[in-house]
Amino acid sequence: MTRRCVSLLFILSVLPMVAAQDGKFSIKAATTPAPKELAAPIQNLLGKTSIQLVDPAGKTIGEFWFRSEIPADATAEQIKNGLTYREVKQSEVIGAVRFDQDWTDYRKQKVKAGVYTLRLGYQPADGDHQGSSEFQEFLVAVAADKDKSTDLMEFKQMTETSAKSIGTGHPGVFMLFPNSPPSAKSEIVARPKNHWVINTKGDITVGGKKVGAALGIGMTVVGNAD
C-alpha cells in the first residue's frame, strides 16, 4: 500500500470523529413513563414529560426525568430575587436518568448504561476540590437499585453509594450551571470548553405549598472538569 493510500485511509477514519466533535447535541421531549427500575415513591415525584439527549449522529444517549415539584426552604425575599440551588436541601431527589449507553460524568468517570437517581450535592469546602469546577453544585448519580426512598441522605452515605454505583472511589457527578430565570421550555445550550447543558425547571414548594416560582436547573450532560 502506498503512503498516499495510507494517508487517505487515516483521513477517512478521522473524519467521522471530527464531525461528531463539531456537531451539535440536541434534546427531544417525550412522554416515556419513568423507568420501572426506580422505586415507586421516586417515580411519583417525577414529571410526566421526559427529555431525551441525542448525540450529533442522531443516537439517543439517555433520557432524563426531572422532579415536577421541588421543596425548598426559601423566604419571600429569596423567591422574589430568584431561587438558587442553595435553597434546596442537599441530597434532595431532583430527577432520574436512564443512560442508553455508557457515558462519562463531570470527572471523566465512566457511568455505565443503566438507571440512576439524581440527587443534589454541594462540593465540599475542604480544599481538596478548590478550582476543580466553575460551580460547586452538582447532581449526584445513584444507581436505582441502591436508592429506594425519597428521604434525604447523609452526605457521606450519598457520595459513598454513588461511588459504589459507578464502581469508583468518587461519586458520579454532573455540574450544575445557574439557570435563572428559567425559560418556559426545556432547552440544551452550548457553553464554553465544549460543555452542553440541559436547562429545565421545577416548580418550588415551601411548606408543601406551591409559591408561584420555579427553580431553574442547568445540568451539564457533556463536558468535563479541566
pLDDT per residue over 150-195, tens digit each? 999 999 999 999 999 999 999 999 999 999 999 999 999 999 999 9
Q: Using one digit for the tens of pLDDT, what is the confidence trace for 46-89?
A: 999 999 999 999 999 999 999 999 999 999 999 998 899 999 99
pLDDT recorded at residue 127: 54
- Element holding 74 (H helix, E strand): none
Phi, psi of 73 (to 5 degrees): -105, 90
Give the model's confidence band at 1: pLDDT under 50 very low, under 70 low, under 90 confident, else very high: very low
- Coil, strand, or helix at residue 174? strand
Q: 181 or 2, which is more confident?
A: 181
Query: So what's the pLDDT on residue 128?
Result: 56
CB 144 within 8 A of CB 162: no
What's the chain's average pLDDT? 89
Residue 41 has pLDDT above 60, yes or no: yes
Domain segments of the chain as ranges: 23-222
Task: Using pLDDT thresholds of 50, 70 and 90, give the confidence band for residue 97.
Answer: very high
pTM here is 0.87
pLDDT, tens digit, for every residue of 110-143? 999 999 999 999 998 765 555 567 899 999 999 9
Question: How high is the pLDDT of residue 182?
Answer: 93
Contacts by 135-140, CB closer than 8 A, 24 or more apart: 135/175, 135/176, 135/177, 135/178, 137/85, 137/86, 137/175, 137/176, 138/106, 138/173, 138/174, 138/175, 138/176, 139/94, 139/95, 139/173, 139/174, 139/176, 139/219, 140/91, 140/171, 140/172, 140/173
In this structure, the chain runs to a length of: 226
Question: What are 81's three cell numbers?
Answer: 430575587
Could you tell me the CA-to-CA distances from 44 to 51, 134, 162 in Å, in that order? 17, 33, 22
Query: How far is it, in rounded angstroms, from Cα 136 to Cα 121?
Result: 9
Number of Cβ atoms within 10 Å of the Cβ of 108: 9
> Is the pLDDT reported for residue 222 higher than 70?
yes
Which of 62, 71, 27, 69 minimizes the C-alpha distance to 47? 69
Task: Enter the C-alpha cell of residue 107.
Answer: 470527572
